[in-house]
Each structure stands twice: as C-alpha cells, then as structure tokens.
Structure 1
Amino acid sequence: MQVQNTNLRPKFQVDPWPDSPNENVLFLLDASNSFEEELLTQWVAHHRGEHSAVQQHMLAIDLGDDRKGIDSSALLDRLGMDLPDDAVIAPLRIAWLPSESSINSGPRIRDFLLGDPRRPGPKKGQKIINRFPSRMQLLVGAPDTLGNLSGRYEHKYGISTDEARESFAKFVARQAAIVLDIAERRLQGGRYKVPRYVAESLKANRAYNEALDALSAEEGKSKTELLKTASEYMKELISIPSTFWLDVWAKFNNFCLGLGYESELVYDQQSVENLRKVVRDHPSMLLWTHKTYLDGMVVPKVLYDNDFPMPHMFGGANLNFPGLGFLVHRSGGIFIKRSFQDNELYKITLRHYIGYLMEKRFPMNWSFEGTRSRMGKLMPPKYGLLKYVLEACHATDARQIHIVPISINYDLIRDVEEYATEQTGRGKGPESLRWFVGYVRSLARPMGKVYMDVGEPVVLDRAPEPDDSLALSKIAFEVAVEANRVTPITFPSLLTMVLLGAAPRALTEEEVVEDLDALLAWAESRNVRISKDFDRAYAEQMDGLLGIMIDEGVITRYNEGPETVYGIAMEQHPMASYYRNTIIHFFVNKAIIELAALKASEQEGPAAVEAFWAEVEHLRDLFKFEFFYSPTETFHQEIRDELDRYGTDWEDLLTQGTIGFQALLASMVPLVSHVALLTYAEAYVVVADLLARKESWESLEQQECIDEALKLGRQAFLQRRISSESSIGKLLYKNGFQMLQHRQLTEGGADTLKEQRTAVALEIRDVLRRIEVIRAIGVASRGAFR
C-alpha cells in the first residue's frame, strides 16, 4: 500500500505485525476517533504484503478513558469467532507528544479550553502530522497469544474463560491498555505510570468476590446489591490520574510552593535514587511528617521532577471541596470517609483497592496521622490509615513491605501564627474553596527554603496480623523515630533555640554567633543531621534569612544603641517555639542528664549515682507523652555515651556531690535543659496545680482540664509564675492530662488522692526549680548556653 502523506512514510517503516509464525493475528487498535483508527489501519495495511499468509483480524477499541469503562461487546464477538489458542493479540496505539514549549511551560489555559495536547481531535491531529510529524509516534504493545491470556485469566480469577466470556474480554482489553501504556511511558516518562481500569479489575478479583460472598451471607443482602453499592464507593475512592492532570498538578504544586519558597527544594539526590529502587521493587508507603497544607505538594513535586511514578496520596474528606478535590482526584488523590468503622462493605472495598495498588507497585503516600503538631515537634502517631494499608498487605500476602519515613521541613511556615492562636483556644475555621484561595494568596511572601529528607525504610517481611495492635504500635513508633532522626537542623530552628535560651535577654550579634557555634559543634560531633546547605557564615545571614524572620515578626532587632542586639518579644515566644521545637528532640537526652546530675548533687557517694539513674528514669517517664525514646537498654547506653564524651570519670564526679556536679557541668557546654524542657514542665505544673485544687472525690475530664488550664495558664503567665506564653497551649495541656491520667490521678477516689495530686504538683515544681538553676547558670554567663 502506498502512503499518501510523505510525513507518514518514515513512521510506517516500523512493522507492527508480530514476529510470529502464528496464522491468526487480532490487531486491537486503541483509537479515540476515526482519524486515529484510519492511521492505524493504514499502518497495518502498509505491511500486509509481507504477511500475506497470516489471517488478519482488526478491531478498534477506545482504551483511553478509564472513567467510561470498557465497551467490550465488539471484542467479545471477535473472541467468540473460534480464534485458536495460538492466535496473537497485537495492541497498537498512536502517541501524541506535546510540543517542547508545552513541556517546558506545563499545561496552559488554552489546553483547558481546547483539550489535552496528548489527545488531539482529528483536525488537530492532521495539523500535527503536517507541521510537526515528530510529535506523532506509532506504538506497538507487547503481543501475546490468546492461549496465554486465557491461562493467566484462569489462574488469577479461578474461573474458566468459557464461564466468564464477558469478563475475559474485558481482561484482554485491560492487558492491551497496560502493554500500550508501558510502550508509551518509554516516550513520555515514568512519571506517567498510572493504574488503569481499577474498578473493572477489582470487580473481577477473586479475593474481593470471596469477601463479598462472605459479607452477603453475613448481612443477608444479595451480592448484586452489594456490588451496586460498592460501585458507588469505587467512584468516590478510586483516583483516575492521567498524563494531563498529573502535569496540571505538578504545575500547581510549583506555583504554590514558588509563591514564598525558593524554587529548588533541598534534598539529597542519592537518597532519592535509593528511594527509586524501593518503590520500583517493593510494595511501599511514603509517610511524611505533617506541618502545613503544603506538605502534600512537596513529595509529589520531588518525585515528579525525578520521573517517579506519581504516588497515590490519601486525603481527608475535608479537602474534597470543588476545585481542589477535582484536581487531586485526577492526580493520584484518594479521599476517604472520615468514619467508616461500621461500614464493612466500605472497608472491604478500600482494603482491596489499596492491596491492588500495592501489588502493582504504585507507592502510597500520606501524612503520618497524628503527627501534625501545632507545636513543631513530631507528635505520637495514630494508626488509622497505616492499619488499613497493612491489613490490605496482609490480605494480599504482600512481602518485603517498605515503609519510608520522610521528614518535610521549612525555614518559615505561613501557618505558624494560626497554630499559635489555635493553641490558646481559638477554633479552627472549616476548609472550603474560598478558604483555600485565601490561603494560597497568603503564601506570597518570602519564607526561605523547603527541605525533604528521606529516612531508612522500615522493612516488614510481611504485614502483621490485623488484630496485632502491639506490632502495629511498634512499627508506627519505629517510623516516627526514624523521621525524627532525619529531621535536619536549619538556621531558623537553631537561631530560635539560641534566642529563646537567652530570653528575656537580647543578644549581640557576636553572642548569637558564639551560641550558634556551640550548638552546631555539639550537633556535628554527634552526627546529628544538619541541612546540607546550612551556611556557617552566620553574620552574612543576619540580613538574609534573619531579615525575613524579622519581617515576619518572629525575631526582633534593635540597632539604635552602640551594638545591634537580637531577641524574641514575649508575645512572639509561641511562634519562635514552633521552629525551636522542630529540632528539640535532638537535645532531650542531654537535658535529662543535666537535670538528673543536679538532682544527684544533693547526695554524695554511691547513693548519688543511684539517684542519678532514678531521676533519668523519672524524667523519661514524666515527658513520655512529648518525646520518642529508644528502648530502655539502648536509652541508658545513649546516656552513658553522652556522659563519656565529657570524661570517663563522670561517675566519680557524681559521687562528689555539689563540687563534682560543678566540675561535670563545666565540661557540658552547651547547657540545654532550660530551652529543651522548660515549656513542657511549665505546662505540666499548670495542669498539676489545677488537679491539686480538687478534692479527692472530684474527677477531672480531659476537655475540662484543657479549658480550665488555658485560663489558669494565662493567669500564671500574667503573674510571671510561668515564663512565657509558649507554655500555654491545648496540646501541652492534653499531654499533661495524659501524664496525670497514666498515674491514675484524674478519677476521684480515696481520701489520700488529694495528697497524691499535691505531691505530683510539688514533684514537677522541683523539676522546674532545677531547670531554673541550669537556666540561671547559662544566662548569667555570656550568651545563652555557656
């Protein structure tokens, strides 16, 4: 056959016919319109003479739109034409590549009006061939025999193709779409790997159908009725990503992040390459720490920029509002109901959907539930989504499951002021399109850099039993500990730590630099992660990132005296504490050592060493609702290792009472207990005082405790019984209540209970007393920590 359009001749040189001696070939032409069908037909006909002995069959079928489902009626008829098992199914498609300018710019307004440039209509397609023929590519999907496809179907679904002819026809069409997508990704990029026809696959899945059969018997509902309801759930749940909307989402992410942050995100390229191997070879979950609404844009941006398959991300139903919900749903977002504990059909459908994605190596991506702290530090995790994903892995018998902790951090965060006011008791407004537009507009101010750090995966040979809550807890905390470990020290976090440590004093530039040096040297000597682009030229940053912090009101600067001094205004302590708290976990062990050593100094001889270790355990237990610790034996070794750095004679010094303590403390620069633990101890003393005011027979409920503590805390601050407003907050008081509840002090009871409650208040006041001693030593010397 002669090719009329000369631009097509080079394209038609590739032979689409399978290299096979088989006598029957069925070409499946994936064509979205008659123009594409005609081109593919011409392509096959161009090489027909070379394969004249082969019996040719041809069928056009549109596999491009998952939302429409597959119309397999024509394919069903063709497969029923007594095709032999060795007949070859050969899928063909046309791929339309965007222009170079379109690739560089991303989707444009005209693309929304005129349509996806990767799916042009007949007139536009003809224009592309005439003017830009390199943008039209002919694709051959990997062919397979009808017998092989039939065998795979029967193995996967446990049913004969003769008994499920319609289902088998849809299976063949789905396999054609998959192999054509694989061929197209070689041209377009790995970022466009998306699951196809998920609902169709789930409805045919043997395990899913067995679960529905069991539920039908249990609830007395017909399977047909359950499938009808499940189909509606699938419409809500199943994400329908496409190349166009993935590009739109990437451009939107770049736009939002670029409003206030530098265009280049800070991350280690090698860790990203290691992550590529993980998501390629294993069922994987990417769990990131949650600080702001922008977090959900950071991981997708890094993965898109590095040509990863776009991860599927879980989102709360609160964000599924018009506009954003539409975009996220078409770019990998999965919105789930807030509560579905009593809806077994919904749980089964969600579980098998997740299992399907994990089996097909589509990484799951969501914020680690419970960890979104309004205070900056990582909070104890919740297990909801992790539990369901692991249950899905268990149901599908997934192996070598990789859970990857990812720490996302920012120099400055637009939400922090809102977090601080929320903690004082102000309610949080509902999310809506209007709210989101206002939020995006508010990002347009300089806020520094964004950091993404990838931790070591937590690897499970297989998922634990669904009812093994202890195993789930251990997995979640292991992920959280690793996320904390890879959180980097940044300039704003270290600077706020210095200035809060000196407060209420302001520091000269020289004092700021000295204290930054001391803290940074301590961190470096212990291999604490420091941002890869941390600039040691502090003085030069005084007008850079520090200038932004001053403009944001986090830091104050006074330069009308002989020297310029820096500090944090009292009303800004909650905001500054947020940034300090992002790295405070690195310093908790040292803070415990300082306070335990001071406690031990009240005794001499062997009793002092015993008192030291008793106080280490007491402080670890007191603040266990605030921080993550290593297992007890490892934790004790960490304490010993830290003390060994100051001298191997530390036990001897402890036995020498006050004199030994002074000698030990002199070697322990920088001192950190006042900046690491003061906020938490002051909050705890407020809730302990609140409880101590009650009679033994009176109980205290959590919400009552938080509400009353907010009032008592405000009074205590005005009386200067606590040092700053950063010690007033709902989360702090909630954790303080949990500490009291854990000690069985919140429920009314025996007459001795009031005495026990008072004893706890005195116990925390003693901790505060020692923190103030360490603080006085640090503040009395030059800077905050010496």
Structure 2
Amino acid sequence: MNLEPLYNKKNPWPQRNAQQVLFILDTRNSLEQEVLRGWIQHHASADNQAFDAPQVSINLKDERTGFDSGQLVMSLALPADTLVVPLRMVWTPSEEGAVTLGRLRHLVTGDPRKPSARRGRKILEEAPDRVHLLVGKPDTVDNLRHRFENNNTVSSSSSQEAFANFVARQASVVLDMAERQLKGGRYKMPRHVASTLMASAGFNAAVQELADAQDRPKEELMKEAAEYMKEMVSTPSSFWLDVYARFNTFCLGLGYEEDIVYDRQAVEKLREVVRNNPAMLLWTHKTYLDGMVVPKVMWDNDFPMPHMFGGANMNFPGLGYLLHRAGAIFIKRSFQDNELYKLTLRHYVGYLMEKRFPMNWAFEGTRSRMGKLMPPRYGLLKYVLEACHTTQAENIHIIPISINYDIIRDVEEYATEQTGRGKGAESLKWFIGYVRSLARPMGKVYMDIGEPVVLPQAPDPEDKLALSKIAFEVAVEANHVTPLTFPSLVTMSLLGAAPKALTEAEVVEDLNALLGWAESRGVRISHDFDRSFADQMEGLLGIMIDENIVTRYDEGPEIVYGISLEQHPVASYYRNTVIHFFVNKAIIELALVRASEETGASALELFWQEVDHLRDLFKFEFFYAPSEEFHRQIREEMSRYGDDWEESLGQGAAGFGKLLQNMTPLVAHVTLLTYAEAYSVVASLLARKEGYESLELNDCVSEALTYGRQAYLQRRISSESSIGKQLFKNGYQMLQSRGLTEGGTDSLKEERRELARELRELLRRIEVIRAIGVANRGAGN
C-alpha cells in the first residue's frame, strides 16, 4: 500500500515542535493502529522531530465496557505542558454505499464505515479516497487535569485511573467534533454519558446529600444509580441512527406521501435556536407515528437527532432495542417516591441540555383521542426544567411543534376506546400488526414549528403556577400553528350540515366560506392547500370515501356527499383538529342569540355575561387567552360585523338579524354541539340523584356511557360523537368545579337540576344557529 498521498494531506504533529507530545490513537484493529503510527512517523521524519512521542492506542468508540486505560495512566505522568493529541481513522462509504446506509444486512456484512482489517486493506488499495485521518483539538496535560479536578469527585486511590478515563473521554469528544465536519451534523451524539455523570462532582454531591438524608451508604446509592443509568441513558451510534432514519421513512411511506409538508426556513431557524440554546421540542400527539415525524424531518435536514422521551410500555424487544440506540430515553411510568431515580434523571437531562442536545417529547403525554389538543402533562416538563434550574441554564427555548395528518389510521381505534372498550397492550406482535395496517393511502403529513417560549432562567421547582403558565403558552402556540387542511374543513362542512347531505357545489361553497373567514383572520392554512379543490374532488376526498369517513351518492341527478351517523365519531376527530380557531366565533353566535332576547343596554350586558359564561363552561375543553386579551379578541371579531355592533345589540331581534348578515359561516352548531350534548348527559345523570348523593369520576363516566347511549336512541342528543370517555371526564370536571359532585343538602338537588336546564337551553340556542345556517344555505341556492 502506498499511503504517502494519504499521509501528506495533513500533519498530525502540533506546530510547537519543541513541546512534548502524547498521541492518543483511537483504533479498532491492528490496521488502524498501523496506519496512524505510520502517519505520525512519516511527519516525524519529515519535520526532523528530536524525540519519539509516546503513543497510546484505545478504542474510544466502544461504550459497552470501560476504557483499557492502563497504558494511558502511565503515559500521563509527563510534564504539565505536554500536548495530548488525539488521532482517528475514519472510513466513509462509497457513493453507492451511502445510499444503503442503515440496512440491517450490515449487522451481518459489517458497517461499511467500520471495515475489518482485511477489508480495510482492500479499501486502502482500491478506494483510498474513502479513508480520512483526523486530528482532534490538542490540549495540555495541565489544562486537562484542572478541568478534571474542577468537575469530578474521586478517591485518591483511584484518581490516576479516573483522570486517564477523563482524558480518554475528552479525546473522544474532540475527535467526534472533527468527524462531524466530515459526516454531517446528524451524527452529533453524546458519548460516555454514564461514566461522565458517575464521576461528576455535582452528581456525587447530590447523591451524598441523599445518602445522608436516607441514612444509607453513598456507595450503595451510587451502585443503584448506575443500574438506573443502564435503563435510561440512550446509547446512540451512527449505524443505529441510520437504521432508525430508514425505519421512519419506511413506516411513514407505507401510507403517506414521501415529502412531509413543512417550512424549510422554519427548520433552519430552529437549527440556530438549538445550536445556541438549551432547547426542548414539544410536539402534539395524535398517533404512534408522531415520534417518527420530527426525527425524519431533522434527519433529512442534517439536524442533530433530538433525544426523545418514551414510556416504558414502548421498551419491548425489537423496537425498544432500536429506539434506545437512536436517542430514546425510556423512563419508568411512575417514580414519584423514588428520590434517587428522580435525581439521576435530573442530572442526566441537565447534562444533555448543557451540552446542547435537544430534547423532544409529546407534551400532552398521550395520544389525543378526540383530535383537539389535550391538556399538557407537567411531569417531564417539570423534571427537565428542574434540571435546567440545577445547572443554572439560561435562555431556555421551548419550541411547540404541531404534527397533523390528512388521515390517521388510529382514529377508528380511538372511537372504539371512547365507548368504554380498553386498548390492547403494546408488544412486538402488536407493533408488527400496527405497521402492516399503515399500508393504505392516507394523504400527507404536516409539521409546523411555532415560536419558541423563551425562559431567561428556569423557574423555581416549587413554583407550580409558573410551570402551568409555561405549559399553557406552549399549548396556545401549538394550536396557533396548527394548519387548516382539506379533511378538517370537509368534515367541518359535512358535520355542520348533518344529517343532510350536500351537493358538490354546496361543499365547495362551504369550503370557500370557511377558507375566506380563516384567511381574513390570519389563521394558518396548510402550505400546499390546493385551492382548486372544486376541480379535484376525487383526490383526497376519494381517500376519505374509501376510508368510509365520507359517503358519496351518485345515482341521483346530482352527486351528494355526507357523513353517516355511525361515522360521526371518526369524522369529528378531523374536524376537532382545527376547532379551536372557531371557538370564539361560536361563543359570539350563542351570546348573540341570548342577547337578542333583550333590548337596550341590558342586551349588551347580557351579551358579555353569556360570553364569559360560555368561556367558563368549556374551560376544560379549550385554551383561551387571558380574560383581558380574550375580551379584546371578541370585540375585534364583533367589529368585523359592523362598527355599530353595540348599538345593533340594543335593537333586540332586529339588530341580531342585521349582524347575522355578515357572519357567514355560522359555526356554533358544528363547533360546540358535541361538547354541549356530552355535558348535558352528565348533568342530567347527576340531576337524577338526590342531594345527599355524591358522584365519583369513574362512576360518572361508566353511567354516562350507558345513559348517553339511551339519550342518543331517544334522539335527545344528535350523534354518537357526543358519547365518549374523554368528553364525560371533562364534563365531570365542569360539574366538580361548580361544587355539584359532592353530596350535601337537599338544596343541592335543585342546583343540579338547574344546570341540566341551563344546558338544555344552550342546546336550544345551538339549534337556532343550526337552523339559521340551513336556511341561509337554502336562500343562497
């Protein structure tokens, strides 16, 4: 082998020739050791080096076992100004090989970036351009020792070995940095995390404090913490990151179009945020595929793979093995009483944030079974912010990410779950079946990045109010960047007309009205929303028909579209993904109906009372702006219907009719009917009980599921979409917030009955809006 051209590309020797040098060679086999030693010798001869620098060979990439640092311990007993220079040999795949990176066959044939000694010699002879020699940033023994002593706690008996391990870890870090210049940012990953944490002064001090509090030996706690780290600490590698990227592309490509819809400029802005700040990417959760969308977009844009939190339920054989090696952090479902586990997790997360490794997880905690955003779970956010508080992190950026789909395979399952049936346990067999079920056309995937919620510093861990405000801001921004899509608007139109079917012209008229309203208010619309949908009704709508979400009847003189009653729960899911944009308008419409029953100044007062009352009634369903900002939004919306809207309110029914002329489309019936009907079920259920009887959550949900079914059969509620566990749980919270669930005096029975009457009256006003909407459509024809 003629290695002179390779050697001549770069000189491994530092420029200060008079200084003592120690080379650390990162080698996996005899060939790599031979090549790196030859590289050193080649330039030593060329530069007439006056001494033979010591060389230590260690496999720095093998994290499965500790370093064999015996040689390094001896070599570090050199003068303080000795320069430590790490070297590595990197193999890149051929152009053809790069396309096939991450294939499982490489488990057998070997990763092309890690050839055996025999195969490596062949590459050196036939394709030397695939071989690169890297020099990590040098540092002196003195500097390294100072950093070690400032950040690590070790006993005097093991200090030399601990220092050698520290130097080896630092060599690995600087070589990885050099390698990323060659391979790309997507391969940025933390290395030797567990050993770094176990040796850190901060972690040791925290464990000692806990040991004193629990009156247990520190050594015992450290041993237990090491076991926790084996469970939770992710061990990503280039090979498994490639496998995971290919796996994500495969799963998403089974049913969805190849290109995810996102704003590339927003991704580049995100890159700058993550590069310069501790960052969390919090995404909305609708399906198991959500966890694949963010990594795929990041991978496609050469973005460092974000670490993802996952529940222990997903850590089953096969998938768990892959995810653990691709950045997943599996944590126990419950560890409230395990102080050592919490401490270990906090320091692990703090380390990742400090080193600018972004975290990502579903901040709702579980998949939304109704389409709309669920209340955020505070657990993980609390622990991450506690870690930031411990490390005194500054300018923490929390970036909301909204993930949406045209069609979701899981929705039928959600509808079934909401009737009271449980879901099956996750397992490898279940996952294989789930992946196979994705192989059907489901349209596109959308990922939208919101404006970061920026924290100058993490709040005090005991400040629960601050945590809830942060989560609320993230939720509001996630809703704000959720785009309107064709399925969401079609289902909104057809559910609003149900049980009536609509002609194609009527559907197009509705879509144009909804789009026009949204555009005039700056509501986000999908970047690739096809405005010529009137000419392409067979495209995505055809998929919805094939999925039995929409019914198409073409045997009459006109083609009509509708949603059958049994499909309302499924169709409601897609409508609910964008329902938050229309809630304020729905509240206005219902408040106007209420105010139209009065005249003069009392009508305006009644309007605002009803606005606030409805906001409070549905506070467990939607995220609103703070009261003052909410009132401003209402006034701004009303001013669009007339500068003199307050005077019009005082005219009673006549003024109401005048305002309605400019209020197309009407949305109260399609926005709030489901929730009002569900609440009426739980309120009626409670009203049947005596005043001394209490109602527990589980009993409420169980009884409401059966009582709601009866109400639907009696057509006291309009749709099965108003029957669901989550709806009834939120309804129970509403009852509880009014002090109606705990048994008390006999007068409580009348209060319960009054709420039931109030909700029946609300349903009447919703029916008024629906009737006006139907009449307006007829007038338009």
For this structure pair, what is the TM-score category when the shorter chain's length is used for normalisation? Answer: over 0.9
- Cα distance, 1:127–1:743 mapped onto 2, change above 3 Å: same
Displacement after TM superposition at 1:288 (Å)? 0.1
Find out whether 1:362 has 2:357 as its counterpart. Answer: yes
- TM-score, normalisation: structure 2: 0.98
Q: 1:22 to 1:768 in 2, by over 3 A?
A: farther
1:47: which partner in 2? 43
Output the amino acid matched with 1:28.
I
Task: Report the equivalent of 2:133.
Answer: 138
**Deviation at 1:158?**
7.0
* Of 273, 282, 286, the match for 2:277: 282
Which amino acid is the alignment partner of residue 415 of structure 2? Answer: A
Aligned to 1:32: 28
Alpha-carbon distance, 1:99 to partner: 1.9
1:179-234 deviations in Å (ceiling 9; x for gaps): 10011111110000000100111011111111111111111211111111111111
Displacement, 1:162? 9.7
Distance 1:337 1:667, change over 3 A: same
Aligned to 2:533: 538
Shift of 1:69: 2.5
Identity of aligned residues (%): 67
Match of residue 243, structure 2, among 229, 248, 252: 248
| Cα distance in 2 between the residues matched to 1:11 and 1:77 | 28
Q: Distance in 2 between matches of 1:719 and 1:535?
A: 41
Contact 2:88 2:134 in 1 (8 A): yes
Instruction: Measure the CA separation in 1 of the matches of 2:523 and 2:552.
Output: 30
8 A contact 1:499–1:784 mirrored in 2:
no
User: Structure 2: how far apart are the matches of 1:13 and 1:161?
Assistant: 43
Give the partner amino acid of 2:75. R
SS of 1:47 mapped into structure 2: helix
Rounded Cα–Cα distance in structure 2 between residues aligned with 1:716 and 1:92: 75
Alpha-carbon distance between aligned partners in 1 of 2:223 and 2:156, rounded to the nearest angstrom: 24
The answer to whether the 8 A contact 1:673-1:771 is kept is yes
In structure 2, distance between residues paired with 1:299 and 1:754: 51
1:771-786 matches, cutoff 5 A:
771-782=766-777
In the alignment, what sits opposite 2:76? Answer: 79
What is aligned with 1:706? Answer: 701
CA distance in 2, matches of 1:215, 1:35: 48
User: Could you tell me how far 1:646 is from its partner in structure 2?
Assistant: 1.0
Shift of 1:690: 0.2
- 1:558 is aligned to 553
Residue 108 (structure 2) aligns with = 113
- Residue 53 of structure 1, CA deviation: 1.9
Q: 1:124 to 1:700 in 2, by over 3 A?
A: same
- Does structure 1 conserve the Cα–Cα contact (< 8 Å) formed by 2:7 and 2:42? no
Contact 1:393 1:463 in 2 (8 A): yes
Tell whether 2:665 aligns with 1:670: yes
Counterpart amino acid of residue 45 in structure 1: Q
TM-score (norm 1): 0.98
State the partner residue of 1:416: 411
Summarize deviations over 1:251-280 as a string: whole Å, max 9, x none: 000000000000000000110000000110
Distance in 1 separating the partners of 2:410 and 2:697: 26
Q: Which residue of 2 aligns with 1:9?
A: 5
Rounded Cα–Cα distance in structure 1 between residues aligned with 2:272 and 2:545: 42
| Deviation digits for residues 92-128 of structure 1 (CA, Å, limit 9, x no counterpart) | 0000101212222332243121222211111111111
Judge conservation of contact 1:371–1:381 (CA < 8 Å) in 2: no
8 Å contact from structure 2 (residues 584, 634) kept in 1: yes
Asked whether the equivalents of residues 136 and 178 of structure 2 are also in contact (C-alpha less than 8 Å), the reply is yes
Question: How far apart, CA to CA, are the structure 1 residues paired with 2:31 and 2:293?
Answer: 40
Match of 1:391 in 2: 386
Partner residue of 1:343 out of 338, 355, 359: 338
User: 1:19 Cα deviation (Å)?
Assistant: 1.2
Distance in 1, matches of 2:27 and 2:214, equals 44
- Counterpart-to-counterpart distance in 2, 1:579 and 1:406: 18
Q: How many residues align?
A: 780
Question: Aligned partners of 1:449, 1:751: CA distance in 2, in Å?
Answer: 56
Task: Specify every segment of 5 or more residues in structure 2 that has no aligned partner in the other structure, as ranges.
Answer: none
| Runs (5+) with no aligned partner, structure 1 | none
C-alpha separation in 2, matches of 1:216 and 1:12? 56
Q: Which residue of 2 aligns with 1:68?
A: 65
> 1: CA distance between counterparts of 2:528 and 2:766?
33
Matches within 5 A, 1:188-203: 188-203=183-198
Q: Structure 1: which amino acid aligns with 2:25?
A: L
Alpha-carbon distance in structure 2 between the residues aligned to 1:95 and 1:472 = 45
Structure 2 residue 124 is the aligned partner of structure 1 residue 129: yes
**Aligned-residue offset at 1:380:** 1.1
Q: Secondary structure at the match of 2:715?
A: coil
- Whether the 8 Å contact between 1:30 and 1:93 is mirrored in structure 2 is yes
Find 2:752's aligned residue among 737, 749, 757.
Answer: 757
Q: Output the amino acid matched with 1:183.
A: A
Equivalents in 1 of 2:672, 2:780: separation in Å?
Answer: 14
Whether the 8 Å CA contact 1:502–1:783 is kept in 2: the answer is no
- Equivalent residue letter for 1:741: Q
1-structure distance, mates of 2:339, 2:706: 43
C-alpha distance in 1 between matches for 2:64 and 2:670: 55
SS state of the match for residue 441, structure 2? Answer: coil
SS at match of 1:67: coil
Residues 514, 665 of structure 2: 8 Å contact kept: yes
Distance 2:146 2:290 in 1: 45
AA aligned to 2:56 is L
Match status 1:718 vs 2:685: no
1:92 corresponds, among 83, 87, 93, to 87
CA distance in 2, matches of 1:738, 1:575: 24
CA–CA separation in structure 1 for the residues paired with 2:578 and 2:622: 11
1:239 and 1:330 in contact (8 A); partners too: yes
In 1, Cα distance between equivalents of 2:361 and 2:245:
17
**After superposition, where does 1:226-375 map in structure 2 within 5 Å?**
226-370=221-365, 372-375=367-370
Tell me by how many angstroms 1:785 deviates: 10
The answer to whether the 8 Å contact 1:653/1:661 transfers is yes
Say whether the 8 Å CA contact 2:104–2:243 is kept in structure 1: no
Does structure 2 retain, via aligned residues, the 8 Å contact 1:498–1:784?
Answer: no
Structure 2 residue corresponding to 1:605, chosen from 589, 600, 603: 600
Looking at structure 2, the residues matched to 266 and 635 of structure 1 have their Cα atoms a distance apart, in angstroms, of 31
Deviation at 1:372, TM superposition (A): 2.7
Query: Quick check: 1:154 aligned with 2:186?
Result: no
Counterparts of 1:481 and 1:541, CA distance in 2:
34
CA-to-partner distance for each residue in 1:468-500, whole Å, 9 max, x for gaps?
100000000100000000000000000100000
Is the 2:153–2:200 contact (alpha carbons within 8 Å) kept by the matching residues of 1?
Answer: no
- Counterpart amino acid of residue 135 in structure 2: V
State the AA in 2 paired with 1:58: Q
In 1, Cα distance between the equivalents of 2:8 and 2:35?
Answer: 10
Please give the secondary structure, in 1, of the residue aligned with 2:54: strand
State the secondary structure of the residue aligned to 2:304.
coil
SS in 1 for 2:702: helix
Give the alignment of 1:582-621 within 5 angstroms. 582-621=577-616
> Following TM superposition, by how much is the alpha carbon of 1:541 offset from its aligned partner in structure 2, in angstroms?
2.8
Pair 161,144 (structure 1): closer, same or farther in 2 beyond 3 Å: farther
1:58 aligned onto 2:55: yes
1:265-321 deviations in Å (ceiling 9; x for gaps): 000011000000011000000000000000000000000110111000000000000
- What amino acid is aligned across from residue 493 of structure 1 in structure 2? S
Cα drift, residue 148 of structure 1: 1.4
Task: Tell which deviates more after alignment, 744-753 or 46-55.
Answer: 46-55
Counterparts in 2 of 1:265 and 1:8: CA distance versus 1, 3 Å: farther
- Any idea what SS the aligned residue of 1:272 has? helix
Separation of aligned partners in 2, 1:539 and 1:87: 75
- Work out whether residues 515 and 784 of structure 1, in 8 Å CA contact, stay in contact via their aligned partners in 2: no
**Which of structure 1's runs of 4+ aligned residues deviate more than 6 A?**
158-163, 783-786
